[in-house]
Structure 1
Amino acid sequence: MTLNSFILVVISVTLSAFGQTAFKIGVERVHFAPDAAVMGKVMGFAASPHIIGGLLFYGVGTLFWLFALRTLDLSLAYPFVAISFIVVFLIGIFGLGEPFNATRLAGLLIITLGLVVMARA
């Protein structure tokens, strides 16, 4: 994997992780009446600036992903989507105040080791 290809993948995955973060913030800020119909809930989500922002992050991330796929085998590129676990873990802890524990860290280290092994292939 070349450095340029790796950078494209990392940008794509990072933007997708930002999109997930925006979704999380968005769904927490949208409030529904207890008896709201499904369409009312959908419209509430659709009007959320955070959810719209999350979709934009995903869209731009997808464009970077398409450029990455031009230069990489899918079987090599796709496992690197797991970088999102690392990004989301860090955003969750430092940005959203989610709990940190050793089990999550151990899982993250195992994923990271797998990515290192894949990158060397």
Structure 2
Amino acid sequence: MTPSEFGLFLISILGSVAGQWLLKAGALKLGKVNASNLFSHILGIITTPELLAGLTCYGLGAIVYILLLTRVKLSVAGPAVALSYVFSMLLGYFIFREPVPFIRMVGLGLIICGVVLVISKN
């Protein structure tokens, strides 16, 4: 992966992770959904700034990912996107104070090792 391809890859990942963070922040504002508040939650989705910003970040990340796919094989780009799991877990831990069990950390370490192997040249 060339430096410019790696830059596109990182921008795509960061757009996706920013989108996830904003969607979580917006979802916390909405509260839990149930049968009695489903309609108001659907309306809330289109009026909550964090949710709209999160969807925008996802869209921009997808556009950059498409640009990346014009330059990199899907068999490399697809698995490499798994790094978004790592960044999402870090956001959950540091921003939303979600616990991270040891076994999850092991799994994330394996993901990182796998991505390194996938993007490295033979």
Query: How far does residue 118 in structure 1 lie from its aligned partner after superposition?
Result: 0.4
Aligned partner of 2:62 in structure 1 is: 62
After superposing the two structures, state which structure 1 stretch, 91-100 or 25-34, moved more: 25-34
What SS is found at the alignment partner of 1:24? helix
Correspondence for 1:9: 9
Counterpart in 2 of 1:83?
Answer: 83
Unaligned runs of 5+ in 2: none
Aligned residue pairs, count: 120
Q: Which moved more, 1:65-74 or 1:108-117?
A: 65-74
Identity level (%):
31
Question: Greater CA deviation, 58-67 or 24-33?
Answer: 24-33
Per-residue deviation, 1:75: 1.4
For the residues of structure 2 that align with 1:48 and 1:82, how far apart are their CA atoms?
Answer: 28
C-alpha deviation, 1:108, in angstroms = 0.4
Runs of 4 or more, structure 1, over 3 Å off, are 31-34
Equivalent positions of 1:1-121 (< 5 A) are 1-31=1-31, 35-36=36-37, 38-121=38-121
Structure 1 residue 91 displacement after superposition: 0.8
Instruction: Note if contact 1:10-1:83 (Cα within 8 Å) is conserved in structure 2.
Output: no
Query: SS at the partner of 2:36?
Result: coil
* 1:74-121 deviations in Å (ceiling 9; x for gaps): 111111110101110111111111113211110000000000110114
- Provide closer, same or farther for how the CA distance between residues 79 and 33 of structure 1 changes in structure 2, counting only shifts above 3 A: closer
Q: Which runs of 5+ in 1 are unaligned?
A: none
Query: What's the CA shift for 1:33?
Result: 8.6
User: Is the partner of 1:71 in helix, strand or coil?
Assistant: coil
* Preserved contact between residue 17 and residue 87 of structure 1 (Cα < 8 Å): yes
